[in-house]
Amino acid sequence: MEQQPKKTYYVSVESGEISKVKSASSWEYRIEATDDEIIQLREIFDENYANEVEGFLRAHVPLIEYHNDSSNDQYDSTLQKVFKMIYELGDQEAKEFIKSQGIISQLGDID
């Protein structure tokens, strides 16, 4: 199987955007990824968006406490997957920023 070439992408975790164009929108991280890796990252962002919507809807039900809500746990879990992928695919600046924010300790074993 032939190795896919990596391309440069610009990622915004806040908005869930992945762009090939540096100036298209604001971004926080520059990564180098194959088409398959971008598809995987997009799927994680989509999963996180679904969890975010579910959490928003849950917030309007006063009987469910935030800390006992599985949609919030799922959101946190997928957000950690996003940061792990960005760390693995990111440039040195992305890696250093993620380390400096203390996110690394929450991600477990990463290079």
Q: Look at residue 100 and tell me if it is in a domain.
A: yes
The H-assigned helical ranges of the chain are 35-59, 70-89, 92-100, 103-107
Q: Look at residue 2 and tell me if it is in a domain.
A: no
In the structure, what pLDDT confidence band is assigned to residue 58 with cuts at 50, 70 and 90? low
Q: Is the pLDDT of residue 34 over 80?
A: yes
Q: What is the pLDDT of residue 103?
A: 75
Q: Look at residue 56 and tell me if it is in a domain.
A: yes
Q: Look at residue 44 and tell me if it is in a domain.
A: yes
Q: Look at residue 101 and tell me if it is in a domain.
A: yes
66-110 pLDDT, tens digit per residue, is: 555 565 677 778 888 899 999 999 999 999 998 888 876 655 555
Q: Look at residue 1 and tell me if it is in a domain.
A: no
Q: What is the pLDDT of residue 1?
A: 59
C-alpha triplet 77, 75, 17: angle, nearest 5°? 100
**How many whole angstroms separate alpha carbon 86 and alpha carbon 70?**
24
Domain hosting 76: range is 7-107
| Mean pLDDT value of segment 7-36 | 92
72 versus 24: the higher-pLDDT residue is: 24
Q: Per the structure, how many domains does the chain have?
A: 1
Q: What is the pLDDT of residue 11?
A: 95
Tell me the average pLDDT of the chain. Answer: 80
